[in-house]
Amino acid sequence: MKYILRHPLTRSAAWRSQRTSCNPRFINTLHQPGDPKVASRRADAPFRLAIIGSGPSGFYTAYRVQSKLPTARIDMYEALPVPFGLVRFGVAPDHPEVKFCINKFDEVARHPNFTYIGNTPIGSESLPFSSLLPNYNAILLSYGASKDKTLNLPGESILSGIHSARAFVGWYNGLPEHRNLNPDLERSDGKAVVIGQGNVALDVARILLTGVDELRKTDITEYALEALSGSKIKEVEVVGRRGPLQAAFTIKEVRELMTLPSVGFEPVPPSIIPQDTSTLPRAKKRLMDTINKGTKSYPLEKNWKLSFFSSPTAFLSSSSNPGQLSHIRFEKTAPVEGTNGDKVVGTGEHKDVYASLAFRSIGYKSEPISGMIEAGIPFDEKKGVVCNTLGRVARPTPEGDIQVPGMYTTGWVRRGPTGIIASTMMDAFDAGDNIVNDWLSGVEFLGEQGDVRMGWEAVKREHSNIGLKAVHWSDWDKIDKAEKERGKKIGKEREKFGTEEEMMAIV
Amino acid sequence: MPPPRGSSILRNLQSQCSNRLFHAGDSIVTRCPRPIPTRSPVQPGAHNRTFTTRTLRPRLPFQSSIYLRQFSTTSYLSHGHLTHPKPGEELKVTFVTKEGNEFTFEVAEGDNLLDIGQAHDLEMEGACGGSCACSTCHVIVEDQEMYDLLEEPDDDENDMLDLAFGLTETSRLGCQVKMKKDIDGLKVKLPAMTRNLQASDFK
């Protein structure tokens, strides 16, 4: 018996309100256990999934879907020619072991039912989002967080010497978008300030303080190495608005900075950081102990410090050089009572920190892909995430969330830009489980029951009109090989191509 | 018997078999069936099974009839980290999956829990390849006394455990726990994947 569910957005409020008896937070209008109208699908029913974004969240979801539904045909779209998202462009070059997950992704990509389509941004300017809709049963949004948050402070966008940490990380990791960042590391005052206290902030500090001979062994780009070898940065201050217990960085990154050769750590005043840590939860306790322990000696040739309870209010220049950052004004903050230090308030007391280089590292945010909103996918502008319930794209209504058929999301575009690879993996496994379970239980997906979707074979025709050459996995193999050969010549594991043109020339 | 032409998998299998399980001259066809699990007399129960390293793969819950079995070219044989235990020196280790099913394996001294779990297709990830740089191979030792027998985790392992979900007093990273004689009979639980993950969980 063929049964076609109505689109949830067209269902009457009365119909929906009948359903509020289940989980009031989530009304899964598409699947009610025991619903006689829902016929389950066979495991070998043809299933086409489009994944937008080739970072760890997309690949781990593909891996999960493949292992539970090997007949699923998965097409992965990536804006750049090269895959792996933040594993390639975000993970620090001196953390090669974190990039090991690429081996798993490579295995996933070689599955006979998997197609990689690189060099293909989805959106109005290239392949429209709408062209995917008629060709897939489901679409997974896993394109991450491509923009960074700004402070919107006076001088921030005018003065030179202020960079986003994201751009700096992209620059040393070979992200084509930031190839020409050219941060001025040779200014004589030798001090850099990083605003924000997450792991990206510590990555920036570590790259600035690590000796270039250490970095030379990694896959850091050659142009970054050259700029860093001329760096005069001797001091890095990492500033946070809140206290040490609220800092977002993790202990591994702190420990690495504490063990860098000839880098000292300026002790945090005991009035600011807890000295008796015995009552703290394990992770916080170990983190505080590591900070309190600091480095064996201070000061050394290069130094770094953590500053707390300081909120930036303005970027300022000196009168002798009006276009260049000379100092940053911070307002001292104090914790608001009863919030456990999670909220702080300005005290009105200001201090200036002199530095000609500043990195803004206060987080990333996601943006909707053009055409996505029109396709009925709700986007929460404030949180910068696709509205979802446990990875199922869902439109919030007063009565509960209403699932959008066939649309799923995972990774940073689902939950915001936090978390390590393990959390991204678990999140992706959840998304994969949801997709497979929904499919097998027979709920509504894109199109009608029994539709055969053609996936990339059909999209390909439209793709040929946009004037971009699709990059497939065999092409990535060529780029990969060429990069490794380039690296071998100079004693590195890999020398990345810094521009898309160079990548495409290999293909 | 000459290796079948064009079939690298069979060739592979033959070399595995002739190296480890079979005497020269044995016919592969007759001597290389899918081995049958032997039920452990000490751990009776519907879900308790004992397996010997490299002889078979447990049938996992997700491989039930509703899902198709995947033909994987990266079987446990290619992980290649496990050593075959010498007769009489097999150590037993039991994994409890998040569904509560128990699998017991006979393994050699020196193998680590991540390699053992992956070799037997348990749902155990090692995103960093066992280099102690992630927390995806988190396991929970069931018995406190057994936990105390393990070598203390070092700073690097503790740093990663700090980030593991559902951390307990007896949590370890599978890649850092090597089988030894004094922990024969070790039983570890694979932590349940946390559903309902929200951004606040990662702060």
Q: Half-sphere exposure (CA, 13 Å, Cβ side) for B79?
A: 23
Q: Cβ contact (<8 Å) for B125 and A425? A: yes
Q: Do A70 and B167 touch (CB under 8 A)?
A: no
- Residue A158 in marked binding region: no
A282: nearest CB among B74, B156, B162: B162
Rounded mean pLDDT of A330-358? 96
- Which CATH architecture describes the domain A11-28+42-146+366-471? 3-Layer(aba) Sandwich (3.40)
Q: Do B159 and A67 touch (CB under 8 A)?
A: no
**d(Cα A21, Cα B63) in Å, to the nearest integer?**
33
Contact at 8 Å (CB) between B143 and B187? yes
By Cβ distance, the residue of A43, A383, A421 closest to B67 is: A43
Beta strands A48-52; B49-52: pairing state: unpaired
Check whether A250 has a pLDDT greater than 70.
yes
Show residues of chain B in contact with A95, CB under 8 Å: 133
Contacts within 8 Å (CB) and 24+ apart, B46-50: B47/B100, B47/B101, B47/B102, B48/B102, B48/B104, B49/B102, B49/B103, B49/B104, B50/B92, B50/B104, B50/B105, B50/B106
Was A122 annotated as part of a binding site?
yes
Q: What is the mean pLDDT of residues A400-425?
A: 93
> Which residues on chain B are in Cβ contact (under 8 Å) with A251?
159, 162
Cβ atoms within 10 A of the Cβ of A484, count? 14
pLDDT of residue B45: 41
What is the residue extent of each domain of chain B?
Answer: 7-53, 91-189
Using the predicted structure, report yes or no on whether residue B168 has a pLDDT greater than 80: yes
pLDDT above 90 covers a percentage of chain B that reads 43
pLDDT averaged over every residue in chain A: 90
**Minimal Cα–Cα distance from A285 to chain B, Å?**
10
Q: Which residues of B touch A287 (CB under 8 A)?
A: 162
Mean pLDDT value across residues B109-122? 94
For residues B48 and A458, the model is more confident at: A458
Angle at B55 between CA B53 and CA B61, to 5 degrees: 85
A16 in Cβ contact with A402 (< 8 Å): yes
> A196 with A362: CB under 8 angstroms?
yes
Q: How far apart are CA B179 and CA B150, in angstroms?
A: 9
Give Cα A478 to chain centroid, integer Å.
Answer: 26
A323 is in an annotated binding site: no
Strand order in the sheet with B91-96: B49-52, B102-107, B91-96, B186-189, B138-141, B171-173
The mean pLDDT of A423-441, rounded to a whole number, is 93
**Higher pLDDT, residue B33 or A190:** A190
Contact A416 B131 (CB under 8 A): no
Region B44-72: mean pLDDT is: 43
Nearest chain B residue to A419 by CA: give it.
B202
% of chain A with per-residue pLDDT over 70: 92
- Quote the CA–CA distance of B181 and A415 in Å, as a whole number: 45
pLDDT of residue A42: 81
Q: Is A198 annotated among the ligand-binding residues?
A: yes
For residue A38, the model assigns a pLDDT of: 56
Q: How many whole angstroms separate alpha carbon A231 and alpha carbon A184?
A: 8
- Whether the per-residue pLDDT at B28 is higher than 90: the answer is no
Q: Determine whether the interchain pair B202/A418 forms a contact, defined as Cβ–Cβ distance below 8 Å.
A: yes
Cα B95 from Cα B3, distance rounded (Å): 36
Q: What pLDDT is attached to residue A124?
A: 80
How close does chain B come to A118, measured CA to CA in Å? 23
Of B69, B127, B196, the CB nearest to A100: B127
Is pLDDT above 80 for A496?
yes
For position B82, what pLDDT does the model report?
81
Task: Give the residue on A whose Cα is nearest the Cα of B129.
Answer: A100
Minimum distance, in Å, between the CA of residue B34 and any CA atom of chain A: 21
Flag if B163 and A250 touch (Cβ within 8 Å).
yes
pLDDT at B22: 36
Can you list the positions of beta strands (E) in A159-248?
Answer: 162-164, 191-195, 235-239
Q: Which pLDDT band holds residue B98 (cuts at 50, 70, 90)?
A: confident
> B91-189 — its CATH code?
3.10.20.30
Residue of B nearest to A105 (CA): B127
Residue A22 backbone phi and psi in degrees, to 5: -80, -150
Does residue A466 register a pLDDT over 90? no
A73 carries a ligand binding annotation:
no
Expressed in angstroms, the distance from the first to the final Cα of chain A is 49
Among candidates B128, B195, B197 on the partner chain, residue whose Cβ is nearest the Cβ of A98:
B128
- C-alpha B125/C-alpha A344 separation (Å) is 39
**Could you tell me the residue ranges of all domains in chain A?**
11-28+42-146+366-471, 148-363, 473-507
Chain A residues touching residue B66 (CB < 8 angstroms): 43, 440
Q: How confident is the model at residue A449 (pLDDT cuts 50, 70, 90)?
A: confident
Residue in B70, B132, B195 nearest the CB of A430: B195
- The whole-number pLDDT of residue A390 equals 86
Q: Exposure string (b/e) for B168-185, b if CB count within 10 Å is 16 or more?
A: eebbbbbbbbebeeebee
> Whole-angstrom Cα distance, residue A438 to residue A435?
5
Cβ neighbours of B175 in A, within 8 Å: none
Residue A375: the pLDDT is 93
A57, two tokens: 């969240």
CB atoms within 10 A of CB A182: 11
Question: Pairing between strand A263-265 and A302-307?
Answer: parallel
Share of chain A above pLDDT 90, in %: 82
Span of A56-60, A81-85, A375-379, B27-31 with lowest mean pLDDT: B27-31
Residue of A259, A366, A418, A437 best to disrupt the B interface, most CBs of B under 10 A: A418
pLDDT (0 to 100) of residue A333: 97
Asked if residue B80 has pLDDT above 70, the reply is no
Instruction: Confirm or reject CATH 3.50.50.60 for domain A148-363, answering yes or no.
Output: yes
For the stretch A122-126, contacts whose Cβ atoms lie closer than 8 Å and that sit 24 or more positions apart, written own/partner, are A122/A52, A122/A77, A122/A79, A122/A369, A122/A371, A123/A369, A123/A370, A123/A371, A124/A370, A124/A371, A125/A370, A126/A466, A126/A468
Answer whether A265's CB lies under 8 Å from A298's CB: yes
